[in-house]
Amino acid sequence: MNDLKKMKLLYVEDELEVSAQYLRYFQTKFESVYTAEDGKKAIELYEDLKPDVVILDIDIPLINGLDVAKKIRLNDNTTQLILLTAKSDKQSLLKAIELGLITYLEKPVSREVLKEALLKLCETDKRILCKFDDKEYLWNIQKAELNYNDEVIKLTKNEAKLFQLFVNKKSDNVSYQEVYEEISFGDNGKKYSEQAIKALIKALRSKLPKNAVKNIYGVGYFIDFK
């Protein structure tokens, strides 16, 4: 499960004893592990940290886990989700089918079942097909790597972050503010500069088919993925 060592995990569980038990295990598997005890905090951490994986109980305070998962899926199809549920909570699971789960686990979760679920994370194909007219590109989420005709399109770190932002938005508009919040400019952290953002957009455009990145006046940009 070496791939997990490159991933950030957000683990959402309100039962402290259960959380402590599995937290130690997760910390041996993932690069970074963050925890939340309720749905409100979970959404805040998700938006701030952009984890690769979210494992969350459905029955948590303030905002239930199903609604947290729906919130994540509004503009993000790439974060991998695992739901934890009581055996009697089948109705919630029916509602979760369309959320693109890796799996769901019935509590209490044995160590062996948990291990199998984590293996599914590693086995999941992390490449997304991006079509621009008649040209097909492959975006590798884990490697932040873009391929065309089996050749890697060389992207800078910020260009790769920008492309991932477009992928997450699913052809919706990406505003200057969203680019600013997602990407650091300069050595001293985040510095808002419309000129820097335009230069980054221009650089990414030069590596994609003509008119792949479209400008919406007064709103932002979007990539029309097919």
- Average pLDDT over every residue of 79-84: 88
pLDDT, residue 95, reads: 62
Tokens of 62: 């303030």
Closest C-alpha among 70, 78, 82, 12 to residue 41:
12
DSSP single-letter state for residue 110: P
Architecture of domain 127-223: Orthogonal Bundle (1.10)
> 80 pairs with which residues across the strands?
53
Select the highest-mean-pLDDT range: 73-77, 167-171, 196-200. 196-200
pLDDT, residue 42, reads: 96
Residue 45 binned pLDDT confidence (cut-offs 50, 70, 90): very high
Architecture of domain 2-123: 3-Layer(aba) Sandwich (3.40)
DSSP single-letter state for residue 39: H
Sorted by where each begins, the domain ranges of the chain are 2-123, 127-223
> What's the half-sphere exposure (Cβ side, CA atoms, 13 Å) at 210?
0
The model carries a pTM of 0.58
pLDDT tens-digit map of 95-149 = 666 666 778 888 888 888 888 888 887 766 566 778 877 788 888 776 778 888 8
Residue 193 binned pLDDT confidence (cut-offs 50, 70, 90): confident
* Cβ-proximal residues to 219 (8 Å cutoff; 6+ apart), any chain: 173, 175
pLDDT tens-digit map of 200-214 = 999 999 999 888 888
pLDDT, residue 125, reads: 53
Helices 65-73 & 39-49, crossing angle to 10 degrees? 30
